[in-house]
Amino acid sequence: MAVVLVLVLIVVGSVLFHFLSPWWWTPIASNWDYIDHTIIISFWITGIVFAAVVLFMAYCVFRFRHREGNRATYEPENKRLESWLMIVTAFGVTALLVPGLFVWSRFVTVPSDATEIEVVAQQWQWSFRLPGKDGKLGTSDTRDVTADNPLGVAPKDPNGQDDVLVEAADLHLPVGKPVKVLLRSIDVLHDFYIPEFRAKMDMIPGSVTYFWFTPIRTGTFQVLCAELCGQGHPLMHGVVVVDTEQDYLAWLGQQQTFAQLSAPPQSGSANQPPGKIIASSLGVAANSKLSRSAQ
Amino acid sequence: MSVILVFLLVIAGFAGWWLSHQRLTAKPWLEQGLAGDFVGFDRSALPTAKIGLGVFLAVVGCLFSLFTSAYFMRMGLPDWQPLPLPRLLWLNTGVLVLSSVALQCAVVAARKGQIDNVRLGLATAGFTTLAFLVGQLMAWRQLTGDGYLLASNPANSFFYLITGMHGLHIFGGLVGLGRTSIGAWNGARPERLRLSVELCAMYWHFLLFVWLCIFALLAGWAATFIDICQRLLT
Amino acid sequence: MVDVTPADAIPPAEVGEVELYHPHSWWTKYVFSQDAKVIAVQYSATATAIGLVALVLSWLMRLQLGFPGTFDFITPEAYYQFITMHGMIMVIYLLTALFLGGFGNYLIPLMVGARDMVFPYVNMLSYWVYLLAVLVLVSSFFAPGGPTGAGWTLYPPQAIMSGTPGGQDWGIILMLSSLILFIVGFTMGGLNYVVTVLQGRTRGMTLMRLPLTVWGIFTATVMALLAFPALFVACVMMLLDRVLGTSFFMPAIVEMGAQLQHNGGSPILFQHLFWFFGHPEVYIVALPAFGIVSDLISTHARKNIFGYRMMVWAILAIGALSFVVWAHHMYVSGMNPYFGFFFATTTLIIAVPTAIKVYNWVLTLWRGDIHLTLPMLFALAFIVTFVNGGLTGLFLGNVVVDVPLSDTMFVVAHFHMVMGVAPILVIFGAIYHWYPKVTGRMLDETLGKFHFWVTFVGAYLIFFPMHYLGLMGVPRRYAELTDMTIMTESARHLNSFISIMAFTVGFAQMVFLFNLIWSIRHGRGAGGNPWRATTLEWQTPQTPPAHGNFGKELPIVYRWAYDYSVPGAKEDFIPQNVPGDFAPSREPA
Ligand code: HEM
Ligand SMILES: [Cu+2]
Ligand SMILES: [Cu+2]
């Protein structure tokens, strides 16, 4: 009989936990509240099913537990019941899927007025590139990566010369403007993930992936890497600051372009060798790797 | 992944056909007793070993379909440079066909109980198969000699990988062929011998078929063929 | 109604030439044995032993996550090695091996009424190759650089690069070799399981009279035979990339400032191959569990499984569909986003046959005569955890919901619930159920109850709250949760709580192990059929079944596996090999 009690407690406890516990998603900061709504729908449908199945089971165990002289009924199947259950299930699943696919089609359709920006990942830091005055990002190639050109921007491409590079520093974005985030990696898989924005996507060396969103409130948000990328993975944080238009322009004015950065003689501090930042935080482990790869 | 999906569809077809003969819609709780009409459903009349080999060949087919799928996916990427196939492969194909034919003759002979011809067939098959393997190795040497190294281009990598895998399977088959031959010379029971010869033949025919597909793939005909089909469809 | 042949008109059941192998010495009887029952025990023991390693690794990880900074020896490197070995061992070397190699070997011949597997020699080889695979895997703990830390998915490029533990050392090479060996060994065993079901069935054992356990293991094996080659291909190609410098999966890469030799390869290609195996793998673990749990519920509720035909069809449908959903693991991998529509749809379609199975288990309880034995308790616990994990699967399969949740603790909670806890609970239930057949003695009931409650409640308390960490955005595979703005103080406390529960659950497994060993000698004698079950393995003349399983003559099967509480019959069960017509005269409404 303890089972019956525990089964009921599991349902009640899980529901209470869901509503009362302090652990819930972070306040949203992008247009993807659609996703949150879909999650809420999913919670309702699945929650009801879970409670129904487990409570029904508890009832069965309570009602039909073995007592002296009991005998089970002989009931091989019940076509009607089974068909009904199948139909109801199919209906529930459709109710989950349809809104989901609807939101997905928004997710994969980038609005035409979205600004392209680029995020470049490497073990284990984030860099960013914004289009310059011409509004276009220059092409890039991992093969073009050198100590002076850590992001691998194609040196010959005129579109790339005025691109703004933000190497291993914070990215700023203006609030309310849709952005298409182009994602690139020069070594392994990474994943650009900001919990408050809800969206994420892997970055794959050798190709460019993307997603889009519109920041809807100002603030400072932490970037997390969400794809295992080696031992520095848990420390691969970054910062995205969503600014008002004015603050954003002020910040943009202080950034340097590709042409400025690659023009000799070097100025600024942006051309650290890759890996240096993480080396300090990972201590000995990464240093030994560094010295090994330097040999 | 379309190649493997097509392959699995074929397998599913077989499975579905077989299942459709198993009265999956029967209501087993209404059927007590050992009614005469169940007997046919107990098992297949084919020898168990053949069914076992059949299942194994399905797995092998799956393996090569997956290599083919990977091949097509990797081929679409820009750094792919097809490599010229050595002429020798034509000869090797001929030799492999010969060994398959030899085994088929051995099967016929075994069914007729002509032990001498069985031995002849097995020996021919063994030697031609060895010749095939040597030929493949020579083709590899020729390619490396011409500078088509394993790691220098994905087309080369796939060539060595797939032909190597096929060669390994042939090599494994030689073990079975060897055991059959020992039986043939040491006077195994005729029906046992017949079964093992048939199994060998089945394996060889299948690997010949796989080889022909691989050859078409590596020579680029498979890609052209798919291209044409796609154009016809659109 | 079908005609019934009188029993005495039936020829002896010995069919075909059964070339039963006979052991001649102690070595061939207990070590290099070709008897499926011995092989089953060997498989199970090896899987349990390596599973214990995985369990200890999970404690170490939980130590780090629950009490960050306290244990210096768990560096990020070590953490990733633990996570990888834990995941890979649990999924492949424990669950797959135990369900198919262990239960498959023991139950298939007995349940279908065969003397042994059809290819006993190959069956024996299968175990030894598996053992070799396990040894190679274990050896990587002692290799220079330690085991690989690439995550159980082994995604390239990082799996074979120096930023990952074992990537440029031996770890990854040993891991790939071990997997290749495992697949070779499994294929040998798998051929046996499939062909034995096809050809080894005794007279009268039509497909629709098979117990669902056999259906589950059979379908899972067919799937495994077709899915493992994908992992094989992926492993071989990665091995070539790592050892011989090819570029199947490796694109142009700059590592620590230096250009690597590779060029142009596609990491996504690996992911497709991996998940083409990986998703069916989930069902390879789940289907045997489905089958076994059906039989546990039916036997211990003294009632036929509800909707047997639907159950069989659902198993087949799930088996087939699970080959066209693999890319739901890749929604945020950067593949063509339009694939999402297709794979979300197929994934949610699978939910329908799966749900039907759940309904039928629960409906079997309805108007049953439920004996709350240990196997039944574990079966009930399985339903709870499986339903819970299956429902969160609907979140992750629904492509857009997966975007925020993928690669977070939500995923960890989901798959532990559905393919960790749920199948393991079935394994426990199955062990309590069949242990009497294997050893002739019952497991101790009191220890068993303790084991059950701690495991079930504990595991639920570990993994249910974990979903909410994922909802907050806590990523998975994080060796350190420091400096994270989303990690609130209370979330840290929750993590400590989860860790404490994990140790508790782990401790209960030690009690279980003790019970397993202690009861071999001290357990209560069981008799041949302690659960009064109908299936053939309980009808053997000896317990434990002797070599050849069934004495002189093979049993003849006269009925399906679920004749419990048949109206008009004296007992509440009629074994499959008992002739006579007790059919209810009408088809029940
Ligand atoms: C009490 C039992 C268990 C505990 C406490 C446990 C704990 C953990 C922990 C802490 C992680 C790492 C999570 C992360 O940081 O991302 C993990 C990963 C994993 N576990 Fe378990 N686990 C248990 C049982 C199982 C079982 C039975 C399975 C079998 C399916 C399993 C399969 C996995 C897999 C596949 C991973 C992922 C590894 C990876 O990310 O590469 N675990 N587990
Ligand atoms: Cu990362
Ligand atoms: Cu999946």
- Residue A114: left (phi > 0), alpha (psi -120 to 50), or beta? beta
Note the pLDDT of residue B215.
Answer: 93
How is residue A38 annotated by DSSP? H
Q: Taking a C-beta distance cutoff of 8 angstroms, is the pair C538, C577 a contact?
A: no
Interface-testing mutation among A24, A189, A241, A278, with chain C (most C C-beta atoms within 10 A) = A189
- Tell me: the pLDDT tens digits for C58-107? 999 999 999 988 888 899 999 999 999 999 999 999 999 999 999 999 99
pLDDT band at C188 (very low <50, low <70, confident <90, very high): very high
Q: Is B52 on the interface with C (CB under 8 A)?
A: yes
pLDDT above 90 covers what percent of chain B? Answer: 64
Q: Domain ranges for chain A, please list them.
A: 2-65+80-108, 115-262
CB contact under 8 A, C225 and B62: yes
Average pLDDT of chain C, as a whole number: 90
Question: Which residues have CB less than 5 Å away from ligand 2 (the ion)?
Answer: A 190, 225, 229, 233, 236
* A26-35 pLDDT per residue, tens: 999 999 999 9
d(CA B181, CA B172): 15
Q: What is the DSSP string of chain B?
A: -HHHHHHHHHHHHHHHHHHHTTTTTS-GGG--S--GGGGGGT--SS-HHHHHHHHHHHHHHHHHHHHHHHHHHHHTSTT----PPPTHHHHHHHHHHHHHHHHHHHHHHHHHT-HHHHHHHHHHHHHHHHHHHHHHHHHHHHHHHTT--TTT-HHHHHHHHHHHHHHHHHHHHHHHHHHHHHHHHTT--HHHHHHHHHHHHHHHHHHHHHHHHHHHHHHTHHHHHHHHHHHHH-
Tell whether the model's pLDDT for residue C414 goes beyond 50. Answer: yes
Across the interface, whether the CB atoms of C372 and A65 are under 8 A apart is answered yes
Q: Are A119 and A150 in contact (CB under 8 A)?
A: no
What tokens does A279 get? 């080396």
Minimal Cα distance from A67: which residue of C? C369
Range of the domain at C165: 30-203+212-244+274-539
Report the separation in Å between the CA atom of C152 and the middle of ligand 1, taken as the mean of its atom positions.
10
Cα–Cα dist A189/C157, whole Å: 7
In a domain, B110, yes or no: yes
CA distance to partner chain C, nearest, from residue B212 (Å): 20
pLDDT (tens, 9 = 90+) of chain A, 295 residues, equals 889 999 999 999 999 999 999 999 999 999 999 999 999 999 999 999 999 999 999 999 999 999 988 888 888 889 999 999 999 999 999 999 999 999 999 999 999 999 999 999 998 899 999 998 888 888 888 888 888 888 888 888 888 888 899 987 899 999 999 999 999 999 999 999 999 999 999 999 999 999 999 999 999 999 999 999 999 999 999 999 999 999 999 999 888 888 888 776 544 444 444 443 343 333 333 333 333 333 3
Nearest to B64 by CA among C233, C187, C270, C279: C233
Q: What pLDDT, in 10s, does the model give residues B82-128? A: 888 899 999 999 999 999 999 999 999 999 988 899 999 999 999 99
Within a domain: residue B43?
Answer: no
CATH number at residue B141: 1.20.120.80
Cα of C365 from ligand 3 centre, angstroms: 29
**Structural domain contains residue C18:** no
Calpha distance C84→C153 (Å, rounded): 8
CB-based contacts of B220, cutoff 8 Å, min separation 6: B82
Q: Measured from the CB, is residue C303 less than 6 Å from ligand 1?
A: no
**Lookup: tokens for C261:** 């030799």
Ligand 1 centre from C81 Cα, in Å? 12
Q: Which domain holds residue B215?
A: 83-233
Lowest mean pLDDT among B221-230, C155-164, C287-296, C388-397: B221-230
Enter the tokens of residue C8: 């005495």
- Lookup: tokens for C425: 């609970």
| pLDDT tens per residue across span C425-443 | 999 999 999 999 999 999 9
Least confident of B28-42, B170-184, C350-364: B28-42
The reply to whether B7 falls in a domain is no
pLDDT of residue A266: 44
> Does the pLDDT value for residue B171 go beyond 60?
yes
pLDDT exceeds cutoff 80 at C268 = yes
**C-chain residue closest to B52, CA distance:** C195
> Which residues are within 8 A (CB) of A246 and not within 5 positions of it... i.e. 6 or more apart?
none
Interface touch C226/B8, C-beta < 8 Å: yes
* Long-range contact set of residues B117-120: C-beta below 8 Å, sequence gap at least 24: B118/B184, B118/B193, B118/B197, B119/B181, B119/B184, B119/B185
How do A179-185 and A115-122 pair as beta strands? parallel
Domain count, chain B: 1
What digits encode the pLDDT tens for the residues C284-335?
999 999 999 999 999 999 999 999 999 999 999 999 999 999 999 999 998 8
Burial class (CB in 10 A: 0-12, 13-18, 19+), C249: buried
State how many domains chain C has.
1
pTM for this entry: 0.93
Task: Give the integer Cα–Cα distance in Å for C284 and C190.
Answer: 12
What is the position in ligand 1's atom list of the atom closest to the CA of C459?
1
Q: Is C68 on the interface with A (CB under 8 A)?
A: no
Residues of chain B with Cβ-Cβ distance to C314 below 8 Å are none
Ligand 1 pocket residue status of C83, Cβ below 6 Å: yes
Please report the pLDDT score of residue B43 as a whole number.
Answer: 63
Q: Would you say residue C497 lies in a domain? A: yes
DSSP secondary structure code for residue C202 in this structure: -
Give residue B42's pLDDT: 56
Report whether the peptide linkage leading into residue A124 is cis, meaning its omega lies within 30 degrees of zero: yes
Dump pLDDT digits (tens) for C500-524: 999 999 999 999 999 999 999 999 9
User: What's the gap in Å between the CA of A196 and the closest CA on chain C?
Assistant: 8
Name the residue of C86, C464, C477 to mutate for ligand 1: max ligand atoms within 8 A of Cβ.
C86
Q: To which residue do tokens 């533990």 refer?
A: C165
The answer as to whether C59 is a domain residue is yes
Q: Tell me which H or E stretch contains A115.
A: strand A115-122
Global ipTM: 0.94
Question: Which residues of chain C have a CB within 8 Å of the CB of A56?
Answer: 362
For the Cβ of C476 lying below 6 angstroms from any atom of ligand 1, the answer is yes
C419 lines ligand 1 (CB under 6 A): yes
> Could you report the per-residue pLDDT of C521-571, keeping only the tens digit for each?
999 988 889 999 999 999 999 888 988 888 888 898 888 899 999 888 888
Each residue's pLDDT tens digit, C485-503: 889 899 999 999 999 999 9
Residue B91: φ, ψ to 5°: -60, -45
Contact yes or no for C309 and B52 at CB 8 A = no
CATH 1.10.10.10 fits A115-262, yes or no: no
φ, ψ at A191 (rounded to 5°): -150, 125
| CB nearest to A224's CB, from C257, C307, C475 | C475
Q: So what's the pLDDT on residue A155?
A: 87
Does residue C17 surpass a pLDDT of 90?
Answer: no
pLDDT score recorded for residue A277: 38
Q: How many residues does chain A have?
A: 295
Q: Which residues of A touch C588 (CB under 8 A)?
A: 74-76
Q: Is residue C570 part of a domain?
A: no
C567 near A CB under 8 A: yes
pLDDT digits (tens, 9 = 90+) for C28-53: 778 888 999 999 999 999 999 999 99
Q: Which ligand is nearest to the CA of A200?
A: 2
Report residue C501 as tokens.
Answer: 């529960």
Q: Decide whether any atom of ligand 1 lies within 6 Å of the C62 Cβ.
A: yes
What is the sign, positive or negative, of the torsion defined by CA atoms of A154, A157, A161, A165? negative
For C5, the closest of B24, B27, B33 (CB atoms) is B33
pLDDT number for residue C294 = 96
Whether C257 is in a domain gets the answer: no
- What CATH code is carried by the domain that includes residue C119? 1.20.210.10
C582 — pLDDT class (breaks 50, 70, 90): low
User: CB–CB of B34 and C556 under 8 A?
Assistant: yes
Strand-strand pairing, A179-185 and A209-213 = antiparallel
CA of C18 to the centre of ligand 2 (A): 57
> Does C16 have pLDDT greater than 50?
no
